[in-house]
Amino acid sequence: MAYPPEMQGSLKKVEASRRLRREQTFPRLDFAEKTTLLETYHPDFRPAEKRQIRVGSNKGDSAPKELVDLLESPGRLNPDIIDLTKVDYKTDILVVGSGGAGLTAALTAKEHGAEVLIATKLRLGDSNTIMAEGGIGAATLPEDSPAIHYIDTVVGGRFKNIPELVEALVQDAPFIVEWLTNLGVNFDRLPDGTYFTHMPAGHSRRRSHSVKDLTGLEIMRVLCDEIRNQEINVLEFSPAVELVLDDQGKCAGSVLLNFDTDQYIVVEAKTTIIATGGIGRLHPQGFPTSNHYGATADGLIMAYRAGSKLLYIDYIQYHPTGVAWPEQMLGLLVSEALRAQGAQVVNVDGEMFVDRLETRDALSAAIIRECGERGKGVLTPTGMVGVWLDTPLIDVIGRDGTFLRRFAGIHKRFQKYDIDPIKDPILVYPTQHYQNGGIQTDVHCETDVPNLYAIGEVQGGVHGHNRLGSNSLVDIFVFGRRTGEYAAQRINKTKIRKLSLEHLKAYNELLLEEQTTTDTVSPMLLPDYRFEKALMMVQYTKEPFRA
C-alpha cells in the first residue's frame, strides 16, 4: 500500500523542489484576500448545501442539510411508553457524554460536593478528545499573554466569538495546564520543567502544550482513571435519547437507552450537563470526517427539541490535513503540529501555493481551489485527490530524529501501509473536523432551558466562525471546570417538580404541522455504515476535482 506508481512522478517533483523550498515562505494572505478566498472556495459558503430550519427556536435560519434532516425528524423515543413516575436514578448532576468536557465537569462538580452520574453512549472516555494529537493552547510563556491569546482567537474566529467566553477561555487556560499537570499528565517538558510548546496556525506565540502526538489520549487516560478513583457512577453504553423537563419547562434529567438490553432508563437530575461533542458523523456535504464514531449531534438535537437555541450552527471546520491516501486512513487527521514544526503544503508539481501557517479555514479553501479550479491536485487510483504535506522537512529543519521523537504515533500509523513520513510526504485533503457553532449559552454555559448546560464542542460561541488549533483542547477543560463548579453550587436551590416529556410531543406535532417528511428518527446515536456504505471511502468524489 505504499504510494502507487501513478503518484511517483509527483513525489519526485516534491523531493526535487524541497531543498530550495526549505528556505522559502509563501506570502501570507491579507485580510481582504482571505475573505475572498473563503467566500469563493470554503464549503461553508455554498448556499445550495444548506437549507432553512422549519421548526423550533432557530426557525428560518439555515444550517447544513444533514443537520436539518435530523432536526426535522421525530424523536426516536415514543413518549407514551415511558412511565416517568418510575425513576431509575436520582442524582444532583447528570453529565451526558464522557469526553474531556464531560469528565472535567463531573470531577469538578464532585470536588464541590455534588453527586454526579455520567451517562455515555459508548465506553467511558470514548470521544473526539482522545483523538486530539496537537496540544492545549494556553499563554504560559513570558513573551505571551492572555490578551494576545484573546486577539488571536477572535481574529481566527472572524470576529464572531462571544467576548465574555473568550475572556474566560484565555484567562483560565494556564490554570488548566496546572490542573492537568497536578493530575499527573506527562506534558512534554524540558529538564528544568519548562513546558515544550509549539505555535499552531493563527496563533502569534508558541502556546500549544503537547504530549508528543497523543495529547488527548494521555489526558483522557488520566481523567478516566481519576473518575474511577473518585468512584463517580458511570453508565456506559447508555446514550441519552431525550431530555426530560419538569412541568415548568426546566430541565430535570434524561431518558437513556441501555444499548445492551434495549431498555430505557429514566434519570432525574437537578442539573443536566450536555457534553456530547460534535457533528462529524453526519458527513456534512459528503466530506470524510476525522471524528469519533459517536459524533452524531445527539446533544444538539435533544437540547434543540427541549427549547435551546443554536448559534453559528452553519459554520463547520474542515481541517486542511485529513489523510487522502492510503484509503484505509481516509479522513483521519494528521496533526497541525506537523505544520507548526515545518511541514509545507505543496501541489502536484511540488510548488507551494499557500503559507503553511494560514488558519484552518483559509488553508482548506486554498487546497480545495488547488485541487479543483487550478487542477493541481494529486489523483489517487481510487479517484480521491489531495495535495502533499511535506513532512520530510521536519527532520531537515529540526535535527534528525525530530519527527520520531514528536510524532511516533503518526509514524506508526503510516508505516502499517508502507509509507514513511520521514522520507515521503503525506497526501492530504480537507476533512470535516469540528462544529464551530453549537448550543447557545450564557457565560456560565447555561442554555435557554433552565438547569440545562452545554459544554465543549456541542456549545457554540467560544470560537466564532472558525476555531484555532489547540483552542478546543483548552475550551473543554475551561468550561468543564467552570460549569462543574457553577452547577454544583446551585443544586441546593433547585427543586424538581413533576417530570414531563410534553415538549417532545409538542415538537412532534410541530413537525406534522410543517409537513416535514423524513424517514429517520433522531437522535441518530450511531452512523450506519453497513453493507455498501462500508465502501463509502469512494463516496467523497463529489467535490469538483480536476486532474
Partner 1 sequence: MLNDIIKMIPIYVMGRKYEVPRGLTIQKALEFSGYMLKRGCGCRGGVCGACVTVYRKKGDYKINVGLACQTVVEPDMDLVQLPYTSANKALYTIKNTPLTDSNIIRLYPELLKCMGCNACTKSCPMDLEVMSYVSAAIRGDFAKVVELSMECIMCGMCAARCPAELSPFNIALLIRRMYGKHVIPPAPHLKQRLTEIAEDKFKDEIEKLKASDKPELETRYRELQATRGAAVAEMTA
Catalytic residue numbers read 319, 339
Closest listed residue to residue 280, CA positions, set 476, 71, 433: 433
Binding mask 155-184 for partner 1 (x = CB under 8 A): x---x---xx--x--xx--xx-xx--xxxx
The window from 240-248, 266-274, 411-419, 483-491 that contacts partner 1 (CB under 8 A) reads 411-419
Q: Is residue 111 involved in binding partner 1 (CB under 8 A)?
A: no
Strands 385-390 and 378-379: antiparallel
Residue from 74, 342, 392, 480 touching partner 1 (CB under 8 A): that is 342
Q: Is residue 22 involved in binding partner 1 (CB under 8 A)?
A: no
Query: Is residue 36 within a helix (H) or strand (E), and if so which, with residue range?
Result: helix 31-41
Q: Is residue 293 involved in binding partner 1 (CB under 8 A)?
A: yes
Return the sign of the alpha-carbon dihedral for residues 100, 104, 107, 109.
Answer: negative
The smaller minimum CB distance to partner 1, of residues 246 and 395, is found at 395
Could you give the CA distance from residue 406 to residue 211 in angstroms, rounded to a whole number? 8
Q: Is residue 256 involved in binding partner 1 (CB under 8 A)?
A: no
Specify the DSSP class assigned to residue 472.
H
On whether the CB atoms of residues 374 and 334 are closer than 8 A, the answer is no
Write down the H helix ranges in 446-537. Answer: 472-490, 502-513
Adjacent-strand bridge partners of 257: 264
User: Residue 444, Cα to own-chain centre: how many angstroms?
Assistant: 20
Q: Is residue 125 involved in binding partner 1 (CB under 8 A)?
A: yes
Q: Is residue 79 involved in binding partner 1 (CB under 8 A)?
A: no
> What count of other Cβ atoms lies within 10 Å of the Cβ of residue 223?
27
The smaller minimum CB distance to partner 1, of residues 2 and 147, is found at 147
Q: Is residue 526 involved in binding partner 1 (CB under 8 A)?
A: yes
Q: Is residue 189 involved in binding partner 1 (CB under 8 A)?
A: yes
Q: Is 126 helix (H, G, I), strand (E, B) or coil?
A: coil
> What count of other Cβ atoms lies within 10 Å of the Cβ of residue 196?
16
Residue from 340, 384, 428, 452 touching partner 1 (CB under 8 A): that is 340
Residue from 69, 152, 246, 446 touching partner 1 (CB under 8 A): that is 152
- Interacting positions 474-493 with partner 1 (CB under 8 A): none
Could you give the CA distance from residue 181 to residue 236 in angstroms, rounded to a whole number? 27
In the complex, the smallest distance separating the C-beta of residue 144 from partner 1, rounded to whole angstroms, is 8
Q: Is residue 150 involved in binding partner 1 (CB under 8 A)?
A: yes
Q: How many residues bind partner 1 (CB under 8 A)?
A: 102
> What count of other Cβ atoms lies within 10 Å of the Cβ of residue 457?
34
Rounded to 5°, angle at Cα 434 from 267 and 443: 60
Closest listed residue to residue 319, CA positions, set 152, 434, 438: 434
The window from 76-84, 153-161, 425-433, 446-454 that contacts partner 1 (CB under 8 A) reads 153-161
494 is written with which cell numbers?
A: 433547585
Q: Is residue 290 involved in binding partner 1 (CB under 8 A)?
A: yes
The smaller minimum CB distance to partner 1, of residues 197 and 435, is found at 197
In the complex, the smallest distance separating the C-beta of residue 290 from partner 1, rounded to whole angstroms, is 7
Q: Is residue 409 involved in binding partner 1 (CB under 8 A)?
A: yes
84 is written with which cell numbers?
A: 416517568
Q: Is residue 422 involved in binding partner 1 (CB under 8 A)?
A: no
Q: Is residue 546 involved in binding partner 1 (CB under 8 A)?
A: no
Q: Is residue 273 involved in binding partner 1 (CB under 8 A)?
A: no
The C-alpha torsion from 357 through 360 and 365 to 371, rounded to 10°, is 70
Could you give the CA distance from residue 95 to residue 345 in angstroms, rounded to a whole number? 41
In the complex, the smallest distance separating the C-beta of residue 411 from partner 1, rounded to whole angstroms, is 11
Query: Is residue 111 within a helix (H) or strand (E), and if so which, with residue range?
Result: helix 100-111
Closest listed residue to residue 283, CA positions, set 296, 300, 294: 296
Binding mask 198-227 for partner 1 (x = CB under 8 A): xx---xxxx----xx-x-xxx--xx-xxx-
Q: Is residue 123 involved in binding partner 1 (CB under 8 A)?
A: yes
In the complex, the smallest distance separating the C-beta of residue 184 from partner 1, rounded to whole angstroms, is 3
The smaller minimum CB distance to partner 1, of residues 291 and 308, is found at 291
Could you give the CA distance from residue 541 to residue 111 in angstroms, rounded to a whole number? 49
The window from 50-58, 189-197, 301-309, 454-462 that contacts partner 1 (CB under 8 A) reads 189-197
- Interacting positions 490-509 with partner 1 (CB under 8 A): none
- Interacting positions 442-471 with partner 1 (CB under 8 A): none
